[in-house]
Structure 1
Amino acid sequence: MKVCSSAELRLNGKLQQCRNCSATSFLVNGLCLTCLFRGALEHPANLADNGTFAETVSELCIPDSKWRLGNYEVLDEIGRGGMGVIYRAREFPSGRVVALKRVSIERLDSLQALARFRREAETAAAFDHPNIVPVYYVGESDDGIPFFTMKLASRGNLGTSRAALRNQPRQCVLIIAKVALAVQYAHDQGVFHRDLKPTNILLDESLEPLVSDFGLAKWQNDPSQLTRTLTTLGTPSYLAPEQATGPSAQLTAAADVYSLGAILFELLSGRPPFLGEHPLAVIHQASESPAPKLRRFTQEFDRDLETICARCLECDPSVRYQSAKDLALDLNSWLDDRPIAARPAKIPYRVARWARRNRMLAGTLTALVALGGTSLLWQVRDWGLQSAMRESTLATRSVGIMPFLNLDNLTPDPISAQSVASSLQGKLSRLGPARVSSTQSGASVRWGGTEEIRKVGQDVKARAVLTGTERTIDGKKRISFRLLDAATGQPLLVHLWQDKGQKDSAKAIGEEIGQPIYAVLSAKDWSNMIYSKIDPGLRDQIARDAILAGRDLMFRYTVSDFDQAITLLKKALRAEPDSSLAHAYLAIVATGRTHYISDNSFLELGEAEAYEALRLSPDSPDAHRALAGVYYQEGRFTEALEEGMLTVETSGVEEKVVRLIGITFDALGHPDRALNWFTFGSHIRGTADGIDAQIGDCWAKLADDKQALQAYNRAAELQPDCSQGGVGICHIRLLEGDSAGARELVRKGRWNREDLGDTKRMAAQIEFFARNFEAAEKLYGDLAQVDASGGGSLYGAITYRSALGRAWQAFGDNTRGEALLEHCLVEEKAAVGREPENPEAVYRLAAVESSLGMTESALEHLHTAVSLGWIDYRSPAMDPRFDALRENLEFQLMLKNISSKVADMRIRSQPLNAE
């Protein structure tokens, strides 16, 4: 390869393709930097005469920005490390600004570096925690350079912000407490970070910390030798002594605890715990000398905070906090002005450490001390040990009980929780030392979130928190119990209790759940228990990557994305057939696809996969949610609602389940109750993001167009590439009689993409309701070619072929129109036979019968649809398929009665929305 001279190393001003590898380049010589460097290394004789290659390259100044990597435009460089470079980049077509990290050019030839970089991306992508930086995309550029994108942290990192935080000690402690819980989450997933330092803790716009850079992370029980090199020890100032001197296979969570303590020490004191002329000197000090006291550098901090730092920085890992969550609990106790659990190192330990350094003097003193006071010392020691052991046991077997959540009205019930607490305390006390405390905390609208769980644990000094839900089934109460780790919110035990007519239900509950709860509380370490519940698909690298990528595609609501997700999830199942999570996700995607294309084979696939997911993991919330989705798509709404409620009982209140329950109530003709669930879900998350479109649908059915438009506009603003918000706005405009405005919205909408089925269906419905039958025929004809039996799931339940048949009637082609409608009649009768309780299916049958002039049968089925829950009275008033009933008094009275019913529901819903 000919290497250019310095005169040829000028910038072109625009991107062009490298003539050697087709990568993008700014250089006029036609090479990218990679090929330029490789050419110089492989053919040194080709260098220009005017100096060395290094001198030639030093004359070149190329801004590392304004170039493309995959679907991302690189804007500017924001960071650089030993293994990678981080850029600020813009994602296309969404326009979202992200952080993009790629392997450094100089490390491309290192297989170790490439493997480590891919490990970092895969590890971070597997996490889902608010204080771990979220990874959006993992991929490779056209020229094979691996990269991934993540959330852009706009406030830099702790390294750049430590000076500003120096005078904010409470903020520093709060940040490290949150980071510690994030690190504990990673440990629970089987991952040690091993390179925690200020620059790896990013800060978002709200100063929320985000743990990043898992390049040196180590999976527990991973035999790989990838991370065992001298260049991957981490940063000496924050490195645990055993990490520098011992084998990586013997590292524990205490190594990351040391790093957290070193970071906290530096934030508070302005310097790391140990300083040295070179890294080996720092490592030697940390291994041989006790860490300096925090108050040696500043007297403004109390001894508790000094003790916390000292406990983290103990040289012996067994003397440190044994988990990151223990550190987080003490930090939060300090923030709340409560006693901390840590104490300065015990005198025996400090004496032993001193003795190792002064062996001869220690021997003499030991002999002298042994001559006196032995009996008295042993008596005092025995008394202290007994007291300490009892307090320690009570702390270990302590549980706080939150008010139960009544699922019938979504209100907290502290009275039932108090009764259960008393009964449980009696049962546990008979089994051994234990402490049960009830609390009014958690009764806020954000019921049962991780922060509430942690706060309850702190308030009552409990190691675990018991949450519960209650609802009435067939006149009898059922209560679900979930025992959660107070520090992380991870589930430890799930139990359903059903009232069997006992006289004292509280006592019966205590007897039934006391023994399993006591067994869990008696375990000293829950990490294995939590780790064992991780789906096997997330433990296999190939399966994990495919599952996470398929999950991301699930929520883009396009047929092409659904098809790609199905392919990825099937790949995951080939890698790990026993992954209940992959089976559940596959069921959800396959079922969701039938909303756009009415292919029963996908519904059958979804049903089979949901049952397989439940077989593999009967308590899996994702499996129950998948089955609920199957039931919903099959029109079995009562069963779908029961599965949704069961998911809440066994896994807590999560946004996806809340959405499913809400739309099921909506389908059953209860948009007011659906709004109740949607509002509850948005309060739990702190935002209605993701369910705004469904909230708009409810207000549309309640004929409150103002609130419907507000919700749809929020959805369109927050998810501009998703069709749901925009299509909802068009729907309201159409119901208001503004077909021209609705038509213009479809034409100009940013979400008007070719593969978004809802957009095309709305465009066809606009023309159909506007009685522009020529345009409607064209649009419905195109849709029917792709999906002959489709269309009945959008607003108004208009199937493509029933609209075509009615359009042909309007053209005067009655023979052709009625023939197609007769075919639709057969299909709709079969659908009602399969889904007799589905109001939408019965409504579709009534519409076809009306088009065929079957007045009596159409009215009968309309009454049935209304009794099953159909309350949309505005669509039939505009739908041309009901023209035959337009002047019918019974039809008019029916619509009027529905309107009155909706008005009553709308009034009941207003106070709920005001909250």
Structure 2
Amino acid sequence: MITCPRCGVPDIPDTAPGCPRCGLTLLGSQPTAPELVSDELESNLRRDLGRHYQVGQLLGRGGMSLVYLAHEADLSRDVALKVLPLQFIHTPDTVRRFEREAKIAASLDHPHIVPIYRVGTTGTFLWYSMKLVKGRSLSEIIQQQGALPLEQVVTIVEQVGSALQYAHRHGVVHRDIKPANVMVEESGWVLVCDFGVARAFGSVALTQTGNSIGTPYYMSPEQFESRTVDGRSDQYSLAIMTYEALTASVPFMGDSLGELVRQHLLETPPRVTAARPDVPAAIADALQRAMSKQPDGRFPDIGAFVQALGGHPEPKSPVFTGSSRRRTAASTISSDPTVRLPRSPRRWRPALWALPALLVAGAAGWAVFGRSASAPPPPQSSAESHRQDTGQRITDSTHGAAPTPVVTAPASPLKTDSQRSPNRVASRPANHPHPRQAPRQIAAPASADSGVVMITSSPVARVFVDGKPVSDTPIPRLKLSAGVPHRVSLRRDGYVSEEREITLLPAETRRLTDIKLKQKAPQP
């Protein structure tokens, strides 16, 4: 028997393919990065990439890859740097796979997908840089909190589903959806990581020694059988992840790879209501359908599955907060789960679990849903939409729009899930044309001398305020001083920069959302 080196779950059979809690692969033929990274290895990294990056601490490791904190000097931003030392490469296929995974990930441009910035090769490493995600993985959240409230789970699945729906439309299947690859930023924004093991439709399947890539506890039957997969395979994995978020346990827990394969191929998954009686029957039915053995038995796409759960297939903004505890989580972005220090295992507790204690903890706790805030602002007029799309300098001095709720830690205890109607999320039929209004926290007002701005763009862009770099979009909540003008610029290589001049009123919340950057005309 062994103990999971990442999450600390004890008494795992030696023959188990992976950890039943976090999905860490325990069986496999690939070499792994060394537990201790040599000084020579890091010296080579700083030598090869020192011209563009100031390489900092090792954030984590997964499989053969290493993830470092780095500062990109040219653009004055912190990034996560994923490197693959050439000493671990034994076949040309490994090199091609790394290059392909970076290329695929870099081609996806969506607010809920971790963006890839640069890709390169040196005489020592293959590498790429990506957005530095500050927050926790869903796996960590489940480990620390146990089963999550229903509305919280639906909110997470909404955002993950939005990313997957986008990827599927662009011919990309993730193939490894699991809690460890879902990151929750400190703001509450959800990002999907590790599209590096995705498969582009029509290309050669990415495999490890002939076996389909994935984590055994979350793999679809067609992955186990090495059949052709499409977006419905991700739907199956997303349903298992949803089940785990609701119960703190995966539906299939075979103690060997063979038994796990048999369960995924032949056994009917247990209904979620057996562990969570408070979950509405409609949601339990949706999970059963999404976990059908045959793809044709599942929902036609991810959006339909999300709607069946009572969610909005295209969420616009985060509706819950992340932990106040700062943690850089880019280390989980790898083709295998990142090894972390062991933690004590957590098990699901029945409906009235320790939420009151979590509320007392205040900001130290993670997300607790509150009542719905005021209705969202009305749609933009066509003139305003056109104004945002011109790609030229625009002065935004309007203050009449209804404010967007600011996502912050609750200032006082709010209603718990047990105080709400258990049917709230599933009250709308799956085919209802109008999505439910997502639950929002009541916004903590900005101080009298400041306001808040929310910024989103397509594609992802770097935000500068008064000439100083801030972060990449989306930015759910940016606090700025009130009563003075600010110059907000959005920049991306190959695109025409967008600029806004805004002056915030005290305690005002302003939305600069859905800004579209135009590509520059090619040089003759």
Instruction: Give the residue type in structure 1 aligned to 2:96.
Output: A
Which consecutive residues of structure 2, in runs of 5 or more, have no partner in the other structure? 1-33, 314-373, 406-452, 457-461, 468-480, 492-499, 511-524
Superimposed CA distance per residue, residues 191-224 of structure 1 (whole angstroms, 9 cap, x where no aligned partner)? 11111111111221223221111222111122x2
Shift of 1:109: 3.5
Aligned residues: 336
Distance in structure 1 (CA, Å) of the matches to 2:41 and 2:399: 46
Which residue in 2 is equivalent to 1:157? 137
Alignment of 1:801-816 (within 5 A): none
Superimposed CA distance per residue, residues 446-489 of structure 1 (whole angstroms, 9 cap, x where no aligned partner)? 63xxxxxxxxxxxxxxxxxxxx83xxxxxxxxxxxxxxxxxxxx
Distance in structure 1 (CA, Å) of the matches to 2:197 and 2:509: 50
- Between structures 1 and 2, the one with greater strand share: 2
- Between structures 1 and 2, the one with greater helix share: 1
Which residue in 1 is equivalent to 2:277? 299
Instruction: Give the residue type in structure 1 aligned to 2:216.
Output: P
Shift of 1:247: 2.6
Which residue in 2 is equivalent to 1:290? 268
Please tell me whether residue 108 in structure 1 is matched to residue 41 in structure 2: no
Distance in structure 2 (CA, Å) of the matches to 1:178 and 1:58: 34
Instruction: Give the residue type in structure 2 aligned to 1:686.
Output: M
CA pair 183-280 structure 1, distance change in 2 beyond 3 A: same
Alignment of 1:166-205 (within 5 A): 166-205=147-186
Superimposed CA distance per residue, residues 637-682 of structure 1 (whole angstroms, 9 cap, x where no aligned partner)? xxxxxxxx7xx8xxx6585x2542x55xxxxxxxxxx5458999x9
Q: SS at 2:299's partner residue?
A: coil
Shift of 1:58: 9.7
Shift of 1:291: 0.7
Q: Answer whether contact 1:237 1:274 (CA < 8 A) is retained.
A: yes
Which consecutive residues of structure 1, in runs of 5 or more, have no partner in the other structure? 1-56, 336-440, 448-467, 470-644, 664-673, 695-705, 720-727, 730-908
Which residue in 1 is equivalent to 2:377? 444
Distance in structure 1 (CA, Å) of the matches to 2:165 and 2:136: 23
Alignment of 1:5-84 (within 5 A): 62=39, 68=46, 69-70=49-50, 71-84=52-65
Shift of 1:234: 0.8
Superimposed CA distance per residue, residues 554-577 of structure 1 (whole angstroms, 9 cap, x where no aligned partner)? xxxxxxxxxxxxxxxxxxxxxxxx
Q: Answer whether contact 1:321 1:327 (CA < 8 A) is retained.
A: yes
Shift of 1:115: 1.2
Shift of 1:233: 2.8
Distance in structure 2 (CA, Å) of the matches to 1:177 and 1:171: 10
Please tell me whether residue 686 in structure 1 is matched to residue 454 in structure 2: yes
Q: Answer whether contact 1:257 1:324 (CA < 8 A) is retained.
A: yes
Which residue in 2 is equivalent to 1:221? 202
Which residue in 1 is equivalent to 2:486? 711
Higher Rg: 1
Please tell me whether residue 272 in structure 1 is matched to residue 250 in structure 2: yes
Q: Answer whether contact 1:177 1:328 (CA < 8 A) is retained.
A: yes
Alignment of 1:879-890 (within 5 A): none
Q: Answer whether contact 2:211 2:226 (CA < 8 A) is retained.
A: no
Distance in structure 1 (CA, Å) of the matches to 2:387 and 2:94: 39
Shift of 1:153: 1.7
Q: Please, what TM-score do these two structures have when normalized by structure 1?
A: 0.33
Shift of 1:278: 1.9
Distance in structure 1 (CA, Å) of the matches to 2:55 and 2:39: 14
Distance in structure 1 (CA, Å) of the matches to 2:66 and 2:376: 46
Q: Answer whether contact 2:155 2:311 (CA < 8 A) is retained.
A: no
Superimposed CA distance per residue, residues 327-377 of structure 1 (whole angstroms, 9 cap, x where no aligned partner)? 122234499xxxxxxxxxxxxxxxxxxxxxxxxxxxxxxxxxxxxxxxxxx
Q: Answer whether contact 2:85 2:124 (CA < 8 A) is retained.
A: no
Please tell me whether residue 147 in structure 1 is matched to residue 147 in structure 2: no
Q: Answer whether contact 1:196 1:259 (CA < 8 A) is retained.
A: yes
Which residue in 1 is equivalent to 2:231? 253
Superimposed CA distance per residue, residues 175-206 of structure 1 (whole angstroms, 9 cap, x where no aligned partner)? 01210111000001111111111111122122
Q: Answer whether contact 1:202 1:211 (CA < 8 A) is retained.
A: yes
Alignment of 1:65-464 (within 5 A): 68=46, 69-70=49-50, 71-141=52-122, 143-163=123-143, 164=145, 166-222=147-203, 224=204, 226-227=206-207, 229-248=209-228, 251-333=229-311, 444=377, 447=380
Which residue in 1 is equivalent to 2:428? none
Q: Answer whether contact 1:131 1:178 (CA < 8 A) is retained.
A: yes
CA pair 308-693 structure 1, distance change in 2 beyond 3 A: same
Shift of 1:304: 2.1
Distance in structure 2 (CA, Å) of the matches to 1:261 and 1:175: 12
Superimposed CA distance per residue, residues 387-418 of structure 1 (whole angstroms, 9 cap, x where no aligned partner)? xxxxxxxxxxxxxxxxxxxxxxxxxxxxxxxx
**Bigger relative CO (Cα 8 Å, ≥ 6 apart):** 2
Shift of 1:241: 0.3
Which residue in 1 is equivalent to 2:31? none
Q: Answer whether contact 1:98 1:149 (CA < 8 A) is retained.
A: yes
CA pair 111-295 structure 1, distance change in 2 beyond 3 A: same
Q: SS at 2:195's partner residue?
A: coil
Superimposed CA distance per residue, residues 684-714 of structure 1 (whole angstroms, 9 cap, x where no aligned partner)? 98349858669xxxxxxxxxxx9997325x6
Q: How much is the aligned-residue C-alpha RMSD, in angstroms?
A: 4.2
Shift of 1:279: 2.1
Distance in structure 1 (CA, Å) of the matches to 2:267 and 2:168: 28
